[in-house]
């Protein structure tokens, strides 16, 4: 084979590599838009985010089309589709009599919300009391599901390490925006977007708790990257302090120092939000990371290095912010009333009991709260400050059952994945993703960070990291998709007579 033929044989491999890189870059840009555009809380931000998530997921599938890998199990894919179908059923127009039978309280609520229904002018209506908002929720859910499926395939083929490194770099940028803006805040985000009075923003997020939620999702991945680097870089290190000190001059140690600095900056921004739920979730993620380290590292020197890094992280952040400020923040909370959330939870439970079968419609809790709020009437609670209660109120059994099925299948898949290649980089990133999901699940018991579309998109990416298969196993690729650089060199090194 001649040089021209050999050069052409590398093109499919290069194209595959470029497709993987493009898909990851597009995903990172999508997540950056979701965070920088105020959490994508406004329509002008979340509709482009939904389109970008669909495009990112489609590009990820296209880039891995030659890979013979079933990253998302068929059962889990069916469960995701089933949950989407349940949301669709809330939007199907039904006769007024059928709505009254399936959800009697919906008829009463609809008559109060819509004068045309009260006057008998509307004969058909969906189970959702405000279909437009439920349609928005369905569109966002569909885009995030596509992103989840596509990224799971992408990370199973290309690995998640480079993506997490890039996400950490962006997390540092986002943290610096929050740190710099905090003392300069004048009522406008970026000095341009003026907020309503009473808002407590941080960085580009309208609510400081939601900024903390973004960091709660991203920071454990950075810590997992650190643990994986320590585990990989210190393997085979000779015993003795001399060799350990010399190791710090190695390229691996230099990279890990950058990761530690990034984690410190991100953690500092999280604590500066003074979000009690965010700080508590962050402490939980530190404990879980330490538990993974203790259970996985066999070498005492590696355990010591990881423990030192975590202690250094906590110490630097605590000293910078001030222990007294953190203690005062937690002491100021009304813990008997869960900081004035108990009333909102009671009202949300009342809505869930009033709409047990089909709920009020996804993304419509605000409409029910107009008439069902009975506590803390000085403020209107458009959200229940507990996403589990809010899902029960908005979805009833119609959404709760498929959601629980999805959760069960998701946990089962992760348990199987955690048995693969224990201690590898893929395993550590999966452990970091699990830590992120547990931490954000705890915050969602008192907050609604995942109702921010920007945070929900990052949540889908973290779920994909948790589900992805190890790159070095179970990922056979068709010959056309394999990089062929090695083959190209071999062909060129053949004797000239072989080209004839």
* Residue 427 located in a structural domain: yes
pLDDT (tens digit per residue) in 301-330: 888 889 999 999 999 999 999 999 999 999
Range of the domain at 30: 3-91+126-477
**250 inside domain:** yes
Q: Has residue 98 been placed in a domain?
A: no
Q: How far apart are CA 216 and CA 118, in angstroms?
A: 46
pLDDT attached to residue 8: 34
What's the distance, CA 346 to chain centroid? 28
Dump pLDDT digits (tens) for 331-381: 887 776 677 789 999 999 999 999 999 999 999 999 999 999 998 888 899
User: pLDDT tens-digit profile of 127-149?
Assistant: 999 999 999 999 999 999 999 99
Q: What is the pLDDT of residue 490?
A: 36
pLDDT at 236: 64
For the ranges 8-17, 66-75, 81-90, the maximum mean pLDDT occurs at 81-90
Q: How many domains does the chain have?
A: 1
Tell me, what's the pLDDT at 481? 40
Asked if residue 127 lies in contact with residue 106, where contact means CB atoms within 8 angstroms, the answer is yes
Residue 326 resides in a domain = yes
Report yes or no on 372 lying in a domain. yes
3-state secondary structure at position 198 = coil
**Cα gap 430→226, rounded to integer Å:** 13
Question: Percent of the chain beyond pLDDT 90?
Answer: 66
In the chain, what is the greatest distance between 2 CA atoms, to the nearest angstrom? 92
68 in a structural domain: yes
| Residue 423 backbone zone (phi > 0: left; psi -120 to 50: alpha; other: beta) | left
In which band, very low, low, confident or very high, does the pLDDT at 12 lie, cut at 50, 70 and 90? Answer: very low
Contact assessment for residue 210 and residue 39, using Cβ atoms and an 8 Å cutoff: yes
The stretch 271-287 carries a mean pLDDT of 96
Exposure string for 48-79, b = 16+ CB within 10 A, e = fewer: ebbebbbbbbebbbebbebbebebbbeebbeb
Is pLDDT above 60 for 7?
no
Q: What is the pLDDT of residue 21?
A: 92
The torsion angles phi and psi of 477, rounded to 5 degrees, stand at -120, 145
Each residue of 431-445: pLDDT tens digit?
999 999 999 999 999
496 domain-assigned: no
Give the count of beta carbons closer than 10 Å to the beta carbon of residue 416: 11
Q: Span 160-173, mean pLDDT? A: 96
Specify if 486 maps to a domain: no
């Amino acid at each position: 084979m001649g040089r021209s033929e050999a050069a052409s044989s590398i093109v499919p491999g290069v194209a595959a590599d470029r497709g993987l890189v493009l898909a990851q870059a597009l995903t990172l840009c999508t997540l950056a838009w979701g965070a920088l555009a105020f959490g994508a809380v406004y329509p002008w931000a979340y509709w482009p985010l939904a389109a970008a998530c669909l495009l990112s997921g489609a590009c990820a599938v296209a880039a891995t089309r030659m890979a013979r890998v079933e990253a998302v199990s068929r059962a889990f894919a069916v469960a995701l589709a089933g949950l989407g179908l349940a949301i669709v059923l809330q939007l199907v127009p039904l006769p007024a009599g059928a709505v009254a039978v399936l959800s009697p309280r919906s008829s009463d609520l609809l008559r109060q919300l819509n004068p045309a229904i009260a006057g008998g002018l509307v004969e058909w209506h969906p189970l959702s009391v405000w279909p437009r908002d439920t349609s928005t929720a369905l569109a966002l859910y569909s885009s995030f599901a596509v992103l989840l499926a596509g990224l799971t395939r992408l990370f199973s083929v290309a690995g998640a390490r480079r993506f997490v490194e890039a996400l950490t770099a962006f997390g540092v940028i986002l943290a610096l925006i929050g740190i710099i803006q905090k003392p300069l805040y004048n009522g406008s985000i970026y000095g341009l977007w003026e907020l309503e009075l009473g808002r407590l923003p941080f960085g580009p997020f309208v609510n400081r708790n939601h900024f903390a939620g973004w960091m709660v999702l991203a920071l454990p991945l950075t810590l997992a990257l650190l643990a994986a680097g320590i585990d990989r870089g210190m393997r085979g290190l000779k015993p003795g302090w001399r060799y350990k000190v010399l190791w710090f001059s190695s390229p691996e140690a230099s990279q890990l120092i950058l990761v530690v600095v990034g984690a410190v900056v991100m953690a500092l921004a999280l604590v500066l939000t003074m979000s009690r739920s965010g700080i508590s979730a962050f402490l939980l993620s530190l404990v879980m990371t330490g538990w993974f380290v203790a259970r996985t590292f066999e070498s005492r020197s590696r355990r010591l290095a990881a423990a030192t890094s975590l202690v250094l992280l906590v110490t630097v952040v605590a000293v910078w912010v001030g222990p007294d400020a953190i203690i005062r923040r937690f002491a100021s909370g009304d813990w008997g009333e869960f900081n004035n959330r108990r009333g909102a939870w009671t009202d949300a439970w009342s809505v869930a009991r009033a709409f047990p079968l089909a709920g009020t419609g996804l993304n419509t809790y605000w409409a029910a709260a107009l008439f069902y709020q009975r506590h803390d009437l000085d403020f209107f609670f458009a959200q229940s400050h507990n996403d589990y209660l809010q899902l029960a109120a908005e979805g009833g059994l119609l959404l709760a059952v498929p959601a629980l099925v999805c959760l069960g299948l998701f946990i089962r898949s992760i348990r199987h994945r955690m048995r693969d290649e224990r201690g590898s980089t893929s395993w550590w990133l999966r452990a970091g993703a699990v830590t992120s999901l547990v931490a954000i699940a705890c915050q969602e018991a008192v907050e609604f960070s995942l109702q921010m579309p920007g945070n929900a998109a990052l949540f889908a990416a973290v779920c994909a990291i948790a589900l992805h298969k190890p790159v070095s196993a179970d990922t056979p690729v068709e010959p056309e998709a394999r990089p062929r650089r090695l083959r190209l060199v071999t062909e060129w090194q053949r004797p000239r007579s072989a080209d004839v």
